[in-house]
């Protein structure tokens, strides 16, 4: 509990829960809703350009007086410009995905920005710690979207054993028991994505939300395993076709016919056949709608109840 209290203080949050920065989904207003509810809201810059990111940061700052962050996907062609925008806009915290943010850490630290890279292997966490980052998000393969190979169960303790920084567990967390397990593994907090997709404030298409609510975890699959760009999502005609063609030996370039704009098709058009219905292995546990506030409070209360039960048993 000491680690959790320290994290809450470090990030100015009520609950030790970060919202995953989801591309095309986590807008400024969604991130503000999470921060207002006591978690840490994070704008997902993945599908934006640098100027739309600036607009979303300003929108978020209008809607909350609480701290919030920005997730920069390093594969984004505008990631270098975005690295400057977060400095100019005095963003509180940056998380990064899809690579090594080493070249930006010095700049962000000079601007007093807290830096929490997302990693999927212990070696990157160790390298990042040596550059002076403030914490690590250890994202296991159970999570939705782009994934690595290690499970949260194996990744979090190995990172905690190597570095003396707050570690946030991500991937496979949607209940108090899972949050408690993350704490037992050494984490100071958790990052959640899939559970928040069904929040009232989450701006995804109703079809996508309903699909999440109905899906079982056995309906989750991974595209791009062979080509080295694995993405976890709900099985549908697009993912079946993708995996079949991948097995036939189609090149990553040929396979782009399925993936180009596919998350946008799911998020904005609600296209359940051709869209990329990204979701993690907890999807079978996500079966109730609610406001962001209800979801965060519910998760944290469930964690406290199970913690008490465990200690008393
Ligand atoms: C629809 C979707 C989109 C995502 N997009 C991003 C992204 O743009 N950048 C990123 O670092 N992580 C992304 N993630 C991962 C989340 O930030 C988070 O770490 C993950 O969802 C946690 O696992 P969970 O889904 O089991 O809660 C995405 C996840 C989902 C479900």
Element at 33 (helix H, strand E): helix 28-36
Residue recorded with tokens 């993690």: 280
CB 115 within 8 A of CB 87: no
pLDDT band at 264 (very low <50, low <70, confident <90, very high): very high
Query: What is the distance between the alpha carbons of residues 45 and 55, in angstroms, rounded to a whole number?
Result: 11
Nearest CA to 190 out of 4, 37, 22 is that of 4
- Ligand 1 atom with least separation from CA of 170: 22
C-alpha 30/C-alpha 199 separation (Å) is 10
State if residue 224 touches ligand 1 by the CB under 6 angstroms criterion: no
Pair 74, 103: CB distance under 8 Å:
no
What would the pLDDT profile of 216-250 be if each residue is shown by its tens digit?
999 999 999 998 899 999 999 999 999 999 999 99
Confidence tier at 100 by pLDDT (50, 70, 90): confident
- Pull the structure tokens for residue 289: 């709608």
CB contact at 8 A, 182 and 174: no
Q: Measured from the CB, is residue 23 less than 6 Å from ligand 1?
A: yes
- Does 102 have pLDDT greater than 90? no
For residues 313 and 193, the model is more confident at 193
For ligand 1, what atom is nearest to the CA of residue 97? 11
Residue 279, ligand 1, Cβ within 6 A? yes
pLDDT tens digits along 114-163: 999 999 999 999 999 999 999 999 999 999 999 999 999 999 999 999 99
Residue 246 to residue 223: CA distance in whole angstroms? 8
Find out whether 84 and 136 touch, Cβ atoms under 8 Å.
no
β-strands 231-234, 220-223 pairing: antiparallel
Q: Is the distance from the beta carbon of residue 144 to the nearest atom of ligand 1 less than 6 Å?
A: yes
Q: Is the model's pLDDT at 215 over the cut of 80?
A: yes
Distance between Cα 271 and ligand 1 center (Å): 19
For the record, the structure tokens of 221 come out as 């699959």
Which SS3 state, helix, strand or coil, does residue 179 take? helix
Q: pLDDT per residue over 65-93, tens digit each? A: 999 999 999 888 899 999 999 999 999 99
- Pocket lining: 46 vs ligand 1, CB cutoff 6 Å: yes
pLDDT of residue 46: 92
- Which residues 6+ apart lie within 8 Å of 51 measured at CB? none
Among residues 159, 91, 141, which one has the least CA distance to residue 280? 141
CA separation for the pair 26, 127 (Å, rounded): 28
- So what's the pLDDT on residue 98? 76
Q: Find the 85 Cα to ligand 1 centroid distance in Å.
A: 22
Band of the pLDDT at 208, cuts 50, 70, 90? Answer: very high
* pLDDT tens per residue across span 19-30: 999 999 999 999
Who contacts 176 (Cβ-Cβ below 8 Å, separation ≥6)?
Answer: 299, 300, 301, 302, 303, 304, 305, 306, 307
The pLDDT, as a whole number, for residue 202 is 98
pLDDT of residue 189: 97
pTM across the whole model: 0.96
CB of 70 closer than 6 angstroms to any ligand 1 atom: no
- CA 232 – ligand 1 centroid, Å: 10
Domain 2-199, what fold? TIM Barrel (3.20.20)
Q: CA–CA separation, 60 vs 201, rounded Å?
A: 13
CA–centroid distance, 137 to ligand 1, in Å, is 12
Instruction: Say how far residue 2 (Cα) sits from the centre of its chain.
Output: 24
Domain boundaries, the chain: 2-199, 216-278
H/E element, 255: helix 252-259
- The answer, yes or no, to whether residue 252 has pLDDT greater than 90, is no
pLDDT, tens only, 1-59: 889 889 998 999 999 999 999 999 999 999 999 999 999 999 999 989 999 999 999 99
Does residue 69 have its Cβ closer than 6 Å to ligand 1?
Answer: no
Strand partners, 220: 234
Residue 111 neighbours by CB under 8 Å, 6+ apart: 86, 87, 90
101 pLDDT tier (thresholds 50, 70, 90): confident
Ligand 1 center–CA 311 separation, angstroms: 32
């Amino acid at each position: 509990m000491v680690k959790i209290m320290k994290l809450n203080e470090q990030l100015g949050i009520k609950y030790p829960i970060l919202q995953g920065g989801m591309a095309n989904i986590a807008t400024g207003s969604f991130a503000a809703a999470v921060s207002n509810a006591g978690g840490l809201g994070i704008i997902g810059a993945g599908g934006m350009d640098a100027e739309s990111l600036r607009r979303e940061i300003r929108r978020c700052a209008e809607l909350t007086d609480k701290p919030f962050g920005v997730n920069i996907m390093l594969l984004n062609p505008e990631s270098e410009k975005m690295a400057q925008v977060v400095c100019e806009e005095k963003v509180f915290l940056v998380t990064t995905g899809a690579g090594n943010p080493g070249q930006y850490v010095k700049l962000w630290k000079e601007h007093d920005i807290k830096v929490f890279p997302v990693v999927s292997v212990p070696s990157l966490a160790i390298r990042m710690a040596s550059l002076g980052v403030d914490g690590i998000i250890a994202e296991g393969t159970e999570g939705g979207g782009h994934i690595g190979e290690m499970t949260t169960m194996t990744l979090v303790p190995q990172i905690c054993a190597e570095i003396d920084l707050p570690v946030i567990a991500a991937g496979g967390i949607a209940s108090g028991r899972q949050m408690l397990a993350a704490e037992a593994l050494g984490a100071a907090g958790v990052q959640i994505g899939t559970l928040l997709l069904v929040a009232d404030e989450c701006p995804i298409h109703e079809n996508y939300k309903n699909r999440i609510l109905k899906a079982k975890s056995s309906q989750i699959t991974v595209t791009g395993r062979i080509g080295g760009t694995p993405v976890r999502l709900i099985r549908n005609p697009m993912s079946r076709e993708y995996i079949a063609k991948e097995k036939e030996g189609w090149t990553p370039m040929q396979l782009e016919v399925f993936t180009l704009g596919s998350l946008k098709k799911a998020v904005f058009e609600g296209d359940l056949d051709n869209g990329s219905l990204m979701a993690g292995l907890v999807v079978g546990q996500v079966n109730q709608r609610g406001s962001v506030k209800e979801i965060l409070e519910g998760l944290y209360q469930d964690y406290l109840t199970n913690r008490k039960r465990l200690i008393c048993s």
